[in-house]
Chains A and B, each alone.
Chain A
Amino acid sequence: MSKFKKKANVKQDIPTSSMPDVVFMLLFFFMVTTQMRETNINVKQQLPEASQLKKLARKSLVAYMYIGEPKKTEEWGKEPKIQVNDVFIEPKDVIQWVNQEKAKLQEFERDQMTVSMKVDVDAKRGIIADVETELRKANARLLLYSTLQRRAEN
Chain B
Amino acid sequence: MPRATPDIPNASMADIAFLLLVFFLVTTTVANDRGLHIQLPPPPEALPPDMDIKIQERNLFKIQVNSFDNVLVEGNPFFGTPNELRDMIKEFILNNGADPNSSDNPEKAIVSYKTDRGTSHKKFIEILDAAQAAYYQIYAERADVSVKKWLELSSDLTNPENRRLYDIGRGRRPDGTVEFPMNLSIAEPTKAGGK
Contacts and interface: CB of A to CB of B under 8 A. Distances in A.
Interface stretch (B51-59, B118-126, B170-178): B118-126
Interface stretch (A5-13, A82-90, A100-108, A125-133): A125-133
Given A23-B14, A52-B129, A30 B33 contact: no
Contact of B126 (A36, A48, A53, A128): A48
A38 B31 CA distance: 12
Contact of A126 (B18, B156, B189): B189
B36 A126 contact: no
A34 B24 contact: yes
B35 A144 contact: yes
A149 interface: yes
Contacts of A31: 24
Interface in B10-41: 10, 13-14, 17-18, 20-21, 24-25, 27-29, 31-41
B29 A20 contact: no
Nearest to A121: B122
Interface in A32-52: 33-37, 48-52
A129 B35 contact: no
B49 interface: no
Interface stretch (B1-9, B95-103, B104-112, B147-155): B147-155
A24 B10 CA distance: 13
Contact of A123 (B35, B120, B136, B154): B120
Interface residues of B, number: 54
A54 B36 contact: yes
A147 B29 contact: no
A16 to B, nearest CB: 8
Contacts of A59: 31, 33
A52 B133 contact: yes
Given A23-B18, A52-B129, A136 B42 contact: yes
Contacts, number: 158
B120 A145 contact: no
A1 interface: no
B195 A126 contact: yes
B148 to A, nearest CB: 10
B36 to A, nearest CB: 5
A30 B18 CA distance: 12
A141 B42 contact: yes
Given A35-B31, A56-B155, A145-B125, A30 B25 contact: yes
A125 B32 contact: no
Contacts of B155: 54-57
Interface of B: 10, 13-14, 17-18, 20-21, 24-25, 27-29, 31-45, 83, 115-122, 124-126, 128-129, 132-133, 136, 147, 151-152, 154-156, 188-189, 194-195
Given A55-B152, A143-B39, 8 more contacts: A34-B27, A52-B129, A52-B132, A62-B33, A114-B37, A119-B121, A122-B121, A142-B37
19 contacts: A16-B14, A26-B21, A27-B17, A35-B29, A48-B126, A53-B34, A54-B34, A54-B35, A54-B154, A121-B122, A124-B120, A124-B194, A125-B116, A125-B189, A126-B194, A129-B117, A129-B188, A141-B41, A153-B83
